[in-house]
Chains A and B, each alone.
Chain A
Amino acid sequence: MPTSKPTVAVYKFSSCDGCQLSLLNMEDELLDLANAVEIAFFLEATRASKPGPYDIALVEGSITTEHEVERIKEIRSQTKVLIALGTCATSGGVQALRNFADADNYASVVYDHPEYLHFLKTSKPMSDYVTVDMELWGCPVNKAQVIEVIVSLLNNRKPNLPSYPVCLECKRRGTICVLVDKGIPCLGPVTVAGCGALCPTYGRGCYGCFGPSRNMNFESLSAITQKLERYPGEAFRLFRGISGYAPDFRKTADAIPSTSKETK
């Protein structure tokens, strides 16, 4: 262990605040955490700040403006370990749905004074602009995983994070499969675990907010989901949701035949 406490900085980009709130929601661990590390920059929690460089940066949100591109580059240059915190930071988030908008339609954007605004046409993960050392998925992130990542860094070991899909969490909880038993479309078979299989536990299908699990059979689940649709276009919308810009979900949605997408 180093003799001085590692410095931690927390930043927010385009997002809802829910992932940095997960830090403040560590009611049982927050004060211990504040003792174990030096919180050098965390605007939502404190006015006090220390200049970089920082050992760890936890960064929430996606990159949606030129200014944010500059900011993430600056943060990268000041940080040893850059952690992308949550689905916005790792996939562009729900606001990345605008990436699929027809660029030409921007001319017909309906607002009073578009000239007042400065934004990029896309909402993208920070890894599109800088090297990210670790990605923590989830909308929001699971705070137990955030603690695991920080503790592993403090102890110089690899964090123990699941790479398996939500299905295994259902099995472990003893939750009856909503897809097999009730025929409810569910992204659990292809979504990475971490939430604790919440949606199936409440009798609904997973909507993929923790993002895709690696090397899953997306095509097969897509075919099944298209057959189980409860309203036209459900399969397409399910893959094109909260984590819809994540490459595996993006490609799966793109591959759905246009006749099976919402018909206008």
Chain B
Amino acid sequence: MKTIEVPALARVEGEGGLYIGLQDGKAVEIRLDIYEPPRFFEGFLLNRFLQEVPDITARICGICPVAYQMSSAFALENALGIKVNPQARALRRLMYCGEYIESHALHIYMLQAPDLFGKESAFELAAIAPDVVKNALRLKKIGNEILKAIGGRSVHPVNVCVGGFYSWPDARSLNDLLTELEWGLQASIDCAKWAMTLPYPELEINYEFVALHHPDEYGVIEGEIWSSKGLKLAISEYETGYIEEHVSRSNALHGHTIDGNTYLVGPLARLNLNHEQLLPNAQKALKDSKLKLPLINPYKSLIARAIELVQFFEEAIQLVTDYKPEGPAHVELNLKAGEGAGATEAPRGLLYHRYKIDDRGLIQFAKITPPTAQNLPRIEADLMAMAPKLVKMSEDDATRTAEHLVRAYDPCISCATHFLKLNVEEVR
């Protein structure tokens, strides 16, 4: 039997390994081993005060802390029956623009692109294409600067609270970003063109795509959960359609639909389900790319990310231009017992939270379903589909092509291993 073994996957977030056993032209065993240790977030959230939750859940992921903060905040606001004011909502979208820009630029150029150039890292890529890497770093920095302007820092920003924001960011520090944002819009349009020229491995999969959909904007916060198979659920109904299961070899839960099928979340799902909501420049980038939708090659997630980069630069420019902080940055909380769900689109896909709180605002129950847990069974199924091609390759090529497939998903392994519940400190 031929095997492909990658004990420690490089250029992914978190700690995971890969094992593929191949026989007679087929994969007989595929394992994506997640050995990132569990951290029990849903356990120690219990009995915390609701306003502490966004600061704690941010720590699930250093690359997409905003998505964790926001899904928590929306879920808890739903539990209290409150809505943030429209400018705070717009500012939350601007934070997402920042997070998507930094996360996508990191992934496109530093995590996935080296595979497409046969390089081990962006450092090696910089040796042959210095301008590509310099532009990548500049793009990424703009995303981080947006987060810094709104939340003080790009990793675990401090300004998001249940009810809105602790305070309005300074309009001048946002306006100062406009020049770089304009540059970034053009650079991301170029990035989308460049993305079309890269040599992706061939693989086409008949996915079930699942993403948030919003009729008036590219779905990121609020809206409905849509599936390409036609299922449309309110966010509060998510668990009636999708469940997570604990499998033996993994420290992460694996998600599937209620019918037991795998499904895909992330940039391909969003682009395929929501391309009509893209802003004009992103629409044009999509049209110019001559891509046929649905895009069903997982390696080409990079192209979907590039088109989303255009989208989020374009949206960021609008949101900064329209920024008018007025009145209080957050609504006052009237504590009451309740339950609420929230879902947002993290850069790597749908992120769902549900909480129960008591009348003192203390967390009684927490459930968090991260995007990577939903995608894990899909990654394994894709590797299975790729196996006939892998067997024909040299060991080195097969290993790289399999690793590349995993990386194209932008898996966030720290996120996927958040789960498990335990009783935290009983206070006397």
Contacts and interface: CB of A to CB of B under 8 A. Distances in A.
B152 A102 contact: no
Interface in B24-65: 35-41, 43-44, 47-49, 52, 55-56, 59-63, 65
B98 to A, nearest CB: 12
A179 B49 CA distance: 20
Interface stretch (A11-19, A74-82, A127-135, A213-221): A11-19
A47 B122 CA distance: 10
B166 A202 contact: yes
A17 to B, nearest CB: 4
A65 B240 CA distance: 35
B10 A43 contact: yes
A25 B49 contact: no
B144 A25 contact: yes
Nearest to A19: B62
Interface in A219-253: 231-234, 236-237, 240-242
A67 B138 CA distance: 38
Nearest to A22: B155
A67 B35 contact: yes
Interface string A98-129: 10111001101111110011010001000000
Nearest to B47: A262
A55 to B, nearest CB: 18
A140 B151 CA distance: 13
A207 interface: yes
Interface stretch (B12-20, B75-83, B198-206, B300-308): B12-20
Choose among A30, A46, A106, A112 the residue with the greatest number of B CB atoms under 10 Å from its CB.
A46
B14 A12 contact: yes
Interface in A128-151: 139-140
Contacts of A191: none
Contact of A207 (B15, B55, B62, B251): B55
B229 interface: no
Interface string B114-126: 1000001111101
Given A16-B61, A16-B62, A233-B427, A198 B121 contact: no
Contacts of A43: 8-11, 15
B137 A202 contact: no
A12 B13 CA distance: 10
Nearest to A97: B44
Contacts of B120: 46-48
Give the secondary structure class of B's interface: loop
A34 interface: yes
Contacts of A201: 152
Nearest to A108: B423
A93 interface: yes
Interface in B95-119: 102, 106, 110, 114
Nearest to B13: A17
B423 A102 contact: yes
A94 B59 contact: yes
A228 to B, nearest CB: 14
B246 interface: yes
B424 A97 contact: yes
A178 to B, nearest CB: 10
B361 interface: yes
A140 B157 CA distance: 10
Contacts, number: 211
A112 B122 CA distance: 40
B159 interface: yes
A152 B424 CA distance: 41
Nearest to B247: A116
B43 A21 contact: no
Contacts of A19: 62
Interface stretch (B280-288, B291-299, B379-387, B414-422): B414-422
A105 B62 contact: no
B39 A95 contact: yes
B415 to A, nearest CB: 8
Contacts of B39: 14, 64, 94-95, 123
Contacts of A20: 62
B428 interface: yes
Interface string A30-57: 1100100001000111111000000000
B421 A198 contact: no
Contacts of B421: 109-111
Nearest to B15: A12
Interface in B123-156: 123-124, 126, 133-134, 137-138, 140-141, 144, 151-156
Those 7 A-B pairs whose CB atoms lie nearest each other, nearest first: A18-B62, A46-B121, A198-B152, A105-B423, A27-B141, A48-B120, A97-B44
Given A31-B123, A31-B133, A101-B424, 15 more contacts: A12-B15, A15-B414, A18-B59, A21-B155, A34-B123, A39-B123, A45-B123, A64-B37, A100-B424, A109-B422, A202-B165, A202-B167, A232-B360, A233-B427, A237-B48
29 contacts: A14-B37, A18-B65, A18-B155, A19-B62, A28-B141, A31-B137, A39-B123, A44-B11, A45-B11, A48-B124, A64-B39, A94-B44, A95-B40, A98-B422, A98-B424, A100-B424, A101-B43, A101-B423, A102-B423, A102-B425, A109-B421, A110-B422, A113-B246, A116-B247, A140-B155, A204-B166, A231-B360, A237-B48, A262-B47
Interface of B: 8-15, 35-41, 43-44, 47-49, 52, 55-56, 59-63, 65, 102, 106, 110, 114, 120-124, 126, 133-134, 137-138, 140-141, 144, 151-156, 158-159, 161, 165-167, 245-251, 360-362, 403, 412, 414, 419-428
